[in-house]
Amino acid sequence: MQTTLCRRSSIAYLLVTGFASLLCGADDQGSALKALKALTGRATRVVWVQDAGPTACVYVEKPTVLLMGMDSADGKGERAIIPTPRSVYKPMLTADGKRVVFHDKVDGKVYVVGFDGSGLRSVVDDLGIEDVWTDPEDGVTWVYGIRNEQRGGQQVGALKRFQLDKPGAGELVWDKTPLGHFQLSGDGLAGSGGSSNGQGIFRLPNDSFTAPTGGCWPSMCPDATERFWVFSGNHRWTNMYLPLEPGSRQFSGFSVNLAEAPASPAMSRSTIPAGAMIPGSSS
């Protein structure tokens, strides 16, 4: 699930626990819309995939998922953005909330479609989508994804980027190490993600990777602070991190027990050198 709201680390646990309950547990569409607006404090669009058939494993067997959306401002409730089931994976909103970019697991292509369902088209072939980012300097929207390429007789997963509206040949972003679950910072100079030695920050393009923790599903705030959070190994904690200064290999951090948030605000805070763990984390 993705929204147009900035994922600030101070409210990360609300986004982790809040959207699923308000969208799935609401008694009616009206209360879901009110809950969504109350949670974010502003007009918000959300996109997600929804099982639409009897298939047990929708990404291995027949694709039976719908691309869904909700806009807290239009009063229409949830709706299918594309009315027919297909193998939609990892839908993401553009920064202006007007378009949705997603990967099709069957044909391997990245597609874009208007939030209103118009203008569906393919963008680039053979790319596993990781993030969508709009350059604040020139307004150009880029699609970031992993493409397997042959390097010296070996297959390497390279992170590349393509302009959404003029894809061309693309640009190399990272190929020094394997990576996954990548998310870009607001200035485009860093990204959170996982590699073989943990979860942390990639400095771009192709500069360095610093891993202060293990865990999974890292997520970076889309500003230039390099704040990011990651689930602990058992998904019961979120661990929040902030570099002591831009480019630093040391981080200040704290952990949040999801079972107690937000009723119990007690959090442990410490300074963490690269490779160390904070309470609640596990590799």
Which region among 84-93, 107-116, 218-227, 248-257 has the lowest average model confidence (pLDDT)?
Answer: 248-257
Distance CA 38, CA 204 (A): 36
User: How buried is residue 101: exposed, middle or buried, by Cβ count under 10 Å (0-12/13-18/19+)?
Assistant: buried
Helical pair 12-25 and 29-40, crossing angle rounded to 10 deg? 170
Show the tokens assigned to 98: 């007007």
Distance CA 135, CA 142 (A): 8
**3-class secondary-structure state, position 199:** strand
162 has pLDDT over 90: yes
**CB–CB of 218/181 below 8 Å?**
yes
**3-class secondary-structure state, position 108:** coil
Average pLDDT for 124-138: 96
Q: ∠ at Cα 94 (92, 213), nearest 5°?
A: 55
**3-class secondary-structure state, position 19:** helix
Give residue 256's pLDDT: 86
**CB–CB of 161/170 below 8 Å?**
yes
Which region among 53-62, 78-87, 196-205, 208-217 has the lowest average model confidence (pLDDT)?
Answer: 53-62
- Biggest alpha carbon–alpha carbon distance for the chain: 57
Q: For residue 204, give the nearest of 159, 167, 147, 138 by alpha carbon.
A: 159
Residues 6+ apart with CB under 8 A from 136: 186, 187
Residue 272 or residue 189, greater confidence? 189
What CA–CA distances, in Å, run from 92 to 11, 77, 250, 258? 20, 19, 31, 25
Number of H helices and E strands in the chain, helices first, is 2, 21
The share of the chain scoring above pLDDT 90, in percent, equals 47
Give residue 17's pLDDT: 38
**3-class secondary-structure state, position 39:** helix
Identity of residue 24: C
Which region among 25-39, 108-122, 194-208 has the lowest average model confidence (pLDDT)?
Answer: 25-39
Q: Which helix (H) or strand (E) holds 218?
A: strand 216-220
Give residue 262's pLDDT: 62
252 has pLDDT over 70: yes
